[in-house]
Each structure stands twice: as C-alpha cells, then as structure tokens.
Amino acid sequence: MSRYLSYVHNLRGIAILYVVGGHSRAFLPEWLAHPEVNRVFDTFIDPSEGNGTVLFLFIGGFLFQHLNQENFVFKKYIERKFKVIILPYLLISIPLIIFRLNTNFESLSLPDGFHQKPVVYQILFYLFTGAHMAPFWFISTIVLFYFSAPLLKLIDNEKFYKYFFPFVFIIALFTYRPAHNANPLLSYLHYLPVYITGMWASFNREKITAAAPNLLYIFMASYVCLSVLDLSGWENISRRLTFEQVVSNGLIVVNIYIFKAVILAFMLLLLSFQIRQWEIPFLEMLGHYSFGIFFVHYIFISLTRKVAETMHISVDFSVPAYVAYFLTVLALSTGVVFLVKKLTGKNSRYFIGS
C-alpha cells in the first residue's frame, strides 16, 4: 500500500510559497509609500515566527510519524537524511563560505570579533549555524531533529500523545526564536513542540480527516480572528522578544504568533485534504522542488539586492512590484532546480535536495 499522501505533498508546495514570499518581501524602509500594505503582508506571512518555517516543521513531524511507524532503523534514516539534506547543504555552502571569507561578510548572526577568529573556526561556525546565508539556520536546526529521531520515535505512542503532548504544546507558547536565528539549539527547543504537533496530527490523522469539514471552519475562523486582532495592534510584544531575553529576564509572555502559525498549519492541512481530489500541477511541482527552491532562492534575492545597491536603485515596494519580484525569484529558483535535475538525473537530490 502506498504511503504517499497527496495533500501533505501539496502542503509542502504551499510551505515553500510562504518561505519565498516572506524572504522576497524586503524590509520596512522599502515599503515607505505603502506601509499599510506591508503591515497586511506582515500579518499573513509573519516574519516573527515564519509561517513557512512552522509549516515545514509541522510537515516534517507529520511525515516522520507517518513513514516510520514500523521498521524504523536510525542508521538507514540518518544515511538518507545525509544524502538528501546534509550533503546538498554542504555542497551549496562550500562556495558561499569561500565567498564570505573573502568579502568580510557582515551579519547580525555573527559574534563580535568573528573575522579575527581562525579561518577554521569561521568555516565551522558558518556550517553549524547556517549564518553564511540567512535561511540556512533552518538546515542547522532541522539536522538536530534528525539526530534526535530515536527519542522522537520513542515518544510516538498513544500514552505520550494523550497525557504529555498537551503540556509540550503549552510550553511552545512561551518560547521564542533566538536573536537573529543565531543559535540552532535554541531554535530546536523552540520549534520542537511544532514538530511533535505534526507527529500528533499524523498519529490522529484518521480522526482529524474524518472531521475535516467542521474542523476546517473552526480553524479558519480562529485564524481570521487572530489576524484581525494582529492588524488592530492588540498585541505585538511577542514580535520583539527573543529566546535569550525570555531566559535572561525570566519573562512569561504568551507567544500568540506561534499559536497562530500552528492554527494556520492545521487549517491548510485540512484544506489540502478537502481538495485532495483536485489535480494541481503547480503545487505538486513545488512540493517536489521545495527543498531545492529553499536552497537556492535566497541567492537570487541576495544578488538582486546587491545589484540594486551597486546601481544605486532605490526600491519602493507596492503590491504589483512585490508580486512581480516574488514570482521572478520563484521562477528563477524553480528553473535552476529543473536544470540541475535534468543534468544530474536520479542523483539530483544529492546536489540540490530535490
């Protein structure tokens, strides 16, 4: 029996749209003429938590539980993850790191005095934190999930989900992303409950999908309400908090944005399930190309921003300009993944993750 779930695959395609869309949105000074539009995008893309990030981790947990219910062998599991995630990350990172080492790259993710450290230290720091390319912190973090797979497999049982999972989820509502995404361990601790929530959803998949129509309305209503409250400025303290601040100052503040992002994950999962009979080639392709697009899309964003800076081109984003830029980055990224797949054939996943 096939274990392929088309609606989860399509959800992966939606997730990469959120990632590319979020990273293409530019910065606040570039929306000066349309701040209200930027605020709407800010609400629905949510850079404080990253809806794409939450979706990918939710899907990761869902598929981990779904695909490893039986005959889980950690050695085979980690070998596969090395080939299709870690190896492409290393291959793509090598030229990027060489470039960073020779251009005095500056980033808030780098510690003070970083460029005075030995070259070996700098290389290892880049690899272990992903600081050489903004989105690569996610790879450094997801690898920790892969290595903790035996523990995650151990808790994959009805007793844990029934008695302990609610507490795990509540803990997530009081944690935050680390400053500048510079600490993979803190990112792992923050997003671990999201991954486990995906596992819980897979474990209860039949019950959830059986109630899909009613649950979809509930999640949609909840998401709309939270979005309206967000737009009204009801609560935005947690947008500015970091994991380090919470720990050092002993703060207890509900992270409404991680809750909202999880609501979105369930809403989109149920929506994808409801339309699972539809053929959506675009989403299917994005699902197949998702990791490849993730690996290369920010290179195009960095290059275009550098070109604009060099040519002294002032950027003033509007809805048409944003959509055009977003679709251009998406098309270029998809084209590169397609080309690599054509050139490398069945080995393409080792080079680009897709």
Rounded Cα distance, 188 and 279, in Å: 35
How high is the pLDDT of residue 1? 45
Mean pLDDT of the region 314-342: 90
The residue whose two tokens read 């989403």 is 283
Q: Is the pLDDT of residue 189 over 90?
A: yes
**Percent of the chain with pLDDT strictly greater than 70:** 97
Average pLDDT over residues 24-32: 71
Listed residue (284, 302, 253) closest to 354, CA to CA: 284
- C-alpha 292/C-alpha 93 separation (Å) is 13
10: nearest Cα among 354, 353, 275, 200: 275
Q: How far apart are CA 134 and CA 110, in angstroms?
A: 11
Q: Given this model, what pLDDT does residue 78 score? A: 95
CA proximity to 134, closest of 102, 101, 182: 182
Identify which has the larger pLDDT, 311 or 141: 141
pLDDT for 298: 93
Q: Which segment of 32-36, 57-61, 203-207, 289-293 scores lowest on mean pLDDT?
A: 32-36
- The two tokens of residue 29 are 């000074």
Q: What is the pLDDT of residues 128-144, one digit of tens each?
A: 999 999 899 999 999 99
Q: Alpha-carbon distance 119 to 68, whole Å?
A: 40
How far apart CA 103 and CA 81 sit, in angstroms, is 32
Backbone angles phi, psi at 290, to 5 degrees: -55, -50
pLDDT at position 235 is: 62
pLDDT at 135: 92
In this structure, of 55-64, 81-90, 102-111, 213-222, the range with the lowest mean pLDDT score is: 102-111
98-134 pLDDT tens trace: 999 998 888 889 998 998 999 999 999 999 999 999 8
Q: What's the rounded Cα separation, in Å, for the pair 277 and 59?
A: 20
Confidence of residue 230 (pLDDT cuts 50, 70, 90): confident
| Under 8 Å between Cβ of 11 and 59 | yes
Chain mean pLDDT for the chain: 90
Averaged pLDDT, 234-251: 77
Task: Give pLDDT, residue 2.
Answer: 58
pLDDT at 68 over 50: yes
**pLDDT interval class at 252 (50, 70, 90):** confident
Q: How many helices (H) and strands (E) does the chain have?
A: 18, 0
Residue 306: both structure tokens together: 């550098």
Please state the pTM of the whole predicted model: 0.93
The pLDDT-based confidence of 238 (bands split at 50, 70, 90) is low
The CA distance from 89 to 330, in Å, is: 19
Higher pLDDT pick, 241 / 94:
94
Closest C-alpha among 250, 251, 256, 253 to residue 233:
256
Helix (H, G, I), strand (E, B) or coil at 19: helix
Q: Name the band, by pLDDT with cuts 50, 70 and 90, for residue 25.
A: confident
| Residue percentage of the chain with pLDDT more than 90 | 61
Q: Span 136-165, mean pLDDT?
A: 95
